[in-house]
Amino acid sequence: MTNNAKFSQKLAFAFLKLSTAFVTLIVIAIMLQIFVNGYSVINIEFLTEMPRRRMTEGGIYPAILGTIYLIVGSMGVALPLGVLSAIYLNEYAQPGKTKWLIEMAINNLAGTPSVVFGLFGLAMFVKYMGFGASLLASALTLALMALPIIIRSSQEALITVPEEYRYASLALGVTKWQTIRQVVLPAAIPGMITGAILGVGRVAGETAPILLTGAAYFLPRLPGSIYSQFMALPYHLYVIATAGTNISQTRPIQYGTALVLLAIVLSVNMIAVSIRRHYIKKLRN
């Protein structure tokens, strides 16, 4: 390797390290700001009580539970559909115009603004299907938002599985579906879980779709069913940060709500990362 090549390599590595450090510092700064400004309001009452006085007092328990319901409901729909779609596109669909159109549609959906999903959810689930402004309509709308991310990440995970695994299994007389289920999917699960993490990150913080399909401004009670309205942390945070009369007075509540939302997302992500590590260790052994 020449001196110029060595210098270029060192320069590239230095630039990559600098970029990584810069992004890490930004994330740490944001999280520190939220923690420093919000930890003072975090207590048992804040986490377990109903909101009072138009959300300027009391707790955020209905919003916490509503957010968890949304995450579980949307991912419960998006994950199976996304994984099955990825299996079809990667393992069964033949190259051609139809497959190209499907993949183009998925790419376009991935870049569609969230408010457009909200308008679609309002027209389809709230009005046409008659679900009304409800938890079900919001969860289905968020599932559609997460679907392109999960499909793409699942496809990439399936692509990374060596073709030799498939050929060896088929050579033993195993059917294609058994090969996919018993050989390909276990090897691709870590990558699919990464897609699920990205999907959770997206659906947990969206405001526009749930605003149009079911989230309530002030609802000091828990949803009675999937057809009930609900409170959610992103919309709760948006309202108290923009529509209140004493925004400066409620600022600690704003940061406290953001801190709880971050904690929920990080907790779900940590569970997913633990599952991914389990499967990685299983594959290595």
Q: What is the DSSP string of 218-277?
A: S--S--SSTTS-B--HHHHHHHHHHT-S-TTTTHHHHHHHHHHHHHHHHHHHHHHHHHHH
The verdict on residue 237 lying in a domain is yes
Q: Which two tokens stand for residue 65?
A: 């539970």
* Mean of the per-residue pLDDT values of the chain: 86
Report the chain's terminal Cα–Cα distance, integer Å. 37
Position 176 scores a pLDDT of 87
CATH number, domain with residue 189: 1.10.3720.10
Q: How far is CA 256 from the centre of its chain?
A: 21
Nearest CA to 56 out of 258, 250, 255 is that of: 250
Position 246 scores a pLDDT of 66
The three-state secondary structure class of 51 is: strand
Q: Which two tokens stand for residue 185?
A: 């999917």
What stretches of 42-184 show up as alpha helix (H) in DSSP? Answer: 44-48, 61-87, 97-110, 114-121, 135-159, 163-171, 176-179
Amino acid at 47: L
Amino acid at 211: L
The verdict on residue 31 lying in a domain is no
The verdict on residue 147 lying in a domain is yes
**pLDDT above 70: residue 224:** yes
How much of the chain, in percent, has pLDDT values that exceed 90? 24
Position 1 scores a pLDDT of 58
Residue 241's CB: how many other CB atoms inside 10 A?
Answer: 16
The verdict on residue 2 lying in a domain is no
The verdict on residue 5 lying in a domain is no
Q: Token pair 């069964």 is at which residue?
A: 92
**pLDDT-derived band of residue 285, with 50, 70 and 90 as boundaries?**
low
Contact 151, 192 (CB under 8 A): no
**pLDDT-derived band of residue 84, with 50, 70 and 90 as boundaries?**
very high
Rg for the chain (alpha carbons), in Å? Answer: 23
Per DSSP, the chain holds a count of helices (H) and strands (E) of 12, 2
Amino acid at 216: A
The verdict on residue 154 lying in a domain is yes
What stretches of 122-207 show up as alpha helix (H) in DSSP? Answer: 135-159, 163-171, 176-179, 185-204
The three-state secondary structure class of 58 is: strand
Per-residue pLDDT reduced to its tens digit, 228-250: 999 998 888 888 887 655 666 77
Contact 50, 220 (CB under 8 A): yes
Nearest CA to 170 out of 161, 180, 156 is that of: 180
Position 119 scores a pLDDT of 92
Number of domains the chain contains: 1
The verdict on residue 104 lying in a domain is yes
How much of the chain, in percent, has pLDDT values that exceed 70? 95
The verdict on residue 14 lying in a domain is no
Q: Range of 167's domain? A: 42-284
